[in-house]
Amino acid sequence: MADARAIGQRGDARLWLAGGWLLVALLAAIFAPLIAPQDPLAQDLMFERLPPFWMQGSQPGYWLGTDSLGRDLLSRLIYGGRVAFIVAFAAALAACLVGSTLGLIAGYFGGWPDRIISRIVDVWMAFPPVLFAILLVAVFGTGLSSVIIAIAVIDWTRFCRVVRAEAMGQARMDYVENARIAGYGRLRIMVSEVLPNVVPTIVALLSLEMGIAIIVEAILSFVNLSISTDDPTWGGIIAEGRLSIHQAWWVLVFPLITLFLTVLSFSQFGEGLKARFDPVLR
Amino acid sequence: MAEPLFRVSGLKVALPDMTRKPVIGRAPLVHILKGLDFELPRHQVTGIVGESGSGKSTLGRALVRLIEPSAGSVIFEGRDITHLAEADLKPLRCNLQMIFQDPMSSLNPRRTIGAIIAAPLKQNGLGDNIAARVAEALRRVGLPENFAKRYRHELSGGQRQRVGIARALALSPDFVLADEIVSGLDVSTQAQILTLLEKLADEMGLTVAFISHDLSVIRRLCKQVIVMRNGEIVEQGPTDALFADPKHAYTRDLIAAIPLPEIDADWLKAG
Amino acid sequence: MSACLDISSLSATLASGQRVLRSVSLAVEPGEVRALVGESGAGKSMIGKAVLGVLPPSVKIAEGSIRLEGTDLGTLSAKERRRVIGTKTALIPQDPLTALNPSRRVGPQMTDRLIHILGWDSGKADKSIRQLLDEVQIRDPDRVMRAYPHELSGGMRQRVLIAAAFAAEPRLIVADEPTTALDVTVQKQILRLIAQLQKDHGTAILFVTHDLGVVAKISQKVTVLYAGKVVEEADTAALFASPQHAYTRALMAATPRYTDPMASLKPVDDAVLAGLSAEIAAADQSWRAGHG
């Protein structure tokens, strides 16, 4: 109990730092047309491979430099955030809804619903996830919705497993038995007694999943299996940066930093949120 | 009269309260033991009684130096062990043994009973003839020799507690700390374990510190008793005298709160 | 006057066919406090769970009946049974922490049941809860009702649970070792509260415990159990004055008694255990003969 509350206090710092970064990145992505200094798709071979603003040879207006086609890196990162966040929210939410519902049912009811759902999860998780994602996209074609569906289809099992364990733990508690004695129906107990106690875990996991979704999208766009248009994606920028790492290291480094910070922030934000709003940990 | 085995004066233990730790800076201290003075006479069973939050478990751990006191002194066999370094404590540890409350968590589930009892023996250089020593230890606590091959989950609660006793006594220590060792057990098993401990303490000349919340058990087992509340000693002395004439109001409350197995229509109304 | 609770020849088995309750019969009159005493594994909690309809899935009732105020629970549909149990009984549990939903405030948890199960309106429910919080001597009902369970001390939580149990005005309360987890001074307060409330509300109580001392102080009649079988049943005063069964005598001798330390804490004699095993074996034999 003592440790949990100590974590809760550190959680506040996490919440603000991580939340702060996410808010900045999200707002930048939403207001990209207003914020981005340049057109992310505009190529200008005169300004190819310009270094970031603090180095010699840089040009004003191209804060983080340009890539081998003269496109402004900062603008591309900002616009790339759009794809990242759309995928993060949509895919994570879908995976969460499906996985949490099935996990709650399996954990609370036990018996044959649990057996069936657990079997499905076991078989499903036997597929190597990224390969599975690539396979799905290759079959259904590239595009934003394919990517979102692919991630959701693979990652729902993560929610299912964790929520099932939490639900099982809660279902054994005396207050659940007490509710049964009082005469409440099983479905009602699952929703009004068990679910609220599982929500903090779901919240933390949802945030983590958003970070994971971004990484998967980055991997897919790294191998050019993500969106079908020319719009910039963080993974795509990394792929380009890899090729010109000696002449223009910034094209590789800055998207990596952005990716890292965003994914880390998602996981820490989720933990901080859980610590903040779980009445027991508070 | 011989020198007491333990002489404790001004013992204080304060630990940081991690639940109230600010983001930057130190956590405030919780004062668990607030200055205790007492002695543990040799070859006797001394009871330490208190309710939850009294600090009795912390006191036990301070005696066997699992916790380092923040103030005061603990003198064991004439030697000040209060702030001894781990390296210096090591040779003393074979004389400072402990029996735990929960036999489930204090016995390694993946080791055989024989290995569990052999461990302290090997650790202290008594590794020769180990099988015989383990058999002897099991016999002493009334368990058959073939239990050495069994695992924790194959034993009942009472049997597990016997193994805990066997392990603590394998090194023939001078001192044993028994921390609520019968608290989770049925009344009949409790009676067996206590009778066993009584017999062994007598046979082996042990000095025992017996921590419990149950005054009735303490009366049966302990020659003298220390009553604790909120980190302080409220009363101490020979057990019979304490029961005959409890001096402190808390001791009287504690005794009055015990439900004796006899009819008493006024018990619920009084006190 | 029909009995409040009438258990008749109740036998329950595990999947393997082994009996965990062996033809248990007991009747609790309205307003009576009946102690159910035994060591761990004796089946006392199991009986409580059977009455409340929350037996673990691995345990099935093989024979016998449970009647609540004359209604045979076995003849009802699951939904009907839920309703009867929910309206006529209540539980005072052993562990006050896990018996309360940690994510909800205490007040709504308590009033919810009265509103949804008993159909009371929120005004009546609130008034009733406050009335009972006062009866269990909680001086600050507002603070307690607004609090989360972990913000209250163990003794306080147990008082809240006692208040909740009586607030529903049940005919029978099953108290499942309600003081085992408490300090001895707190235990005395809680026992006093339970006794007082029981007298004021006239509720029958089935009090499950392993502590003969508690039995002596709180009950009028007592049933002694061993391995799921009723070993002795008597008025409490009679039981302590002259226990009939060897096991009861052995239990009394094993119970710590500070007024007579040398005569107490005696381990149970092997002969007594052998006698009990023989009794159980004989009972099981005739059971198997009758049930194939």
Check whether C184 has a pLDDT greater than 70: yes
Do B18 and A10 count as a contact with CB atoms less than 8 A apart? no
A279: confidence class by pLDDT, cuts 50, 70, 90: low
> What is the CATH code for B1-95+175-184+205-271?
3.40.50.300
* Mean pLDDT of all residues belonging to chain B: 90
Given a contact as 3+ CB pairs under 8 Å, which chains touch B?
A, C
- Residue intervals in chain B for CATH 3.40.50.300: 1-95+175-184+205-271
Do A13 and B19 count as a contact with CB atoms less than 8 A apart? no
**β-strand pairing of C221-226 with B207-212:** unpaired
Chain B residues whose CB is inside 8 A of the A280 CB are none
Check whether C285 has a pLDDT greater than 80: yes
Q: What average pLDDT score do residues B41-52 get?
A: 94
Interface residue ranges in chain B relative to chain A, Cβ cutoff 8 Å: 17-19, 21-23
CATH number of the domain within which A244 lies: 1.10.3720.10
Q: What average pLDDT score do residues A68-74 get?
A: 87
Question: A282 at the B interface (CB within 8 A)?
Answer: no
Residue A11: per-residue pLDDT? 55
Residue C1: per-residue pLDDT? 56
Mutate to test the interface with B, among A1, A5, A15 (most CBs of B within 10 A): A5
Instruction: Indicate the Cα dihedral angle B154, B159, B160, B161, nearest 10°.
Output: 170
Residue C154: per-residue pLDDT? 83
Residue B1: per-residue pLDDT? 56
Report how far residue B138's alpha carbon sits from residue B145's, in angstroms, rounded to the nearest whole number.
6
Range scoring the smallest mean pLDDT among A219-233, C55-69, C151-165: A219-233
Interface of A with B in 6-65 (CB under 8 A): 6, 9-10, 12-13
Chain B residues whose CB is inside 8 A of the C195 CB are 268
Residue C204: per-residue pLDDT? 96
Q: What percent of chain B has pLDDT over 90?
A: 59
Q: What average pLDDT score do residues A62-69 get?
A: 86
| Residue of B51, B220, B253 lying closest to C264 (CB–CB) | B220
Domains defined for chain C, CATH in brackets: 5-291 (3.40.50.300)
Return the residue of B nearest to C255 by Cα.
Answer: B187
Q: What average pLDDT score do residues C104-128 get?
A: 90
The pLDDT tens digits for B64-118 are 988 899 999 999 998 999 998 888 888 888 899 999 888 778 888 888 999 989 8
Mutate to test the interface with B, among C158, C184, C186, C189 (most CBs of B within 10 A): C184
- Domain range spanning residue A43? 2-277
**β-strand pairing of C71-72 with C229-235:** unpaired
Report how far residue A89's alpha carbon sits from residue B43's, in angstroms, rounded to the nearest whole number.
70
Q: How far is the alpha carbon of B24 from chain A, nearest alpha carbon, in Å? A: 10
- Is A194 inside a domain boundary? yes
Given a contact as 3+ CB pairs under 8 Å, which chains touch A?
B, C
The pLDDT tens digits for A111-163 are 899 999 999 999 998 888 778 878 888 888 878 888 898 889 888 999 999 99
Report how far residue C192's alpha carbon sits from residue C206's, in angstroms, rounded to the nearest whole number.
16
ipTM for the whole predicted complex goes beyond 0.90: no
Do C87 and A174 count as a contact with CB atoms less than 8 A apart? no
Q: What percent of chain C has pLDDT over 90?
A: 70
Q: How far is the alpha carbon of C163 from chain B, nearest alpha carbon, in Å? A: 19
Q: Is residue C261 classed as helix, strand or coil in its secondary structure?
A: helix
Report how far residue B99's alpha carbon sits from residue B165's, in angstroms, rounded to the nearest whole number.
6
How many domains does chain A contain in total? 1
Side by side, which strands form the sheet with C172-176?
C71-72, C60-68, C5-13, C19-28, C229-235, C221-226, C33-37, C204-209, C172-176, C89-92
| Residue of B52, B220, B257 lying closest to C188 (CB–CB) | B257
Residue C246: per-residue pLDDT? 93
Check whether A8 has a pLDDT greater than 70: no
A10: confidence class by pLDDT, cuts 50, 70, 90: low
* Mean pLDDT of all residues belonging to chain A: 86
The pLDDT tens digits for B192-248 are 999 999 999 999 999 999 999 988 899 989 999 999 999 999 999 999 999 999 999
- Is A282 inside a domain boundary? no
pTM of model > 0.90: no
Return the residue of A nearest to B23 by Cα.
Answer: A10
Q: How far is the alpha carbon of B153 from chain A, nearest alpha carbon, in Å? A: 22
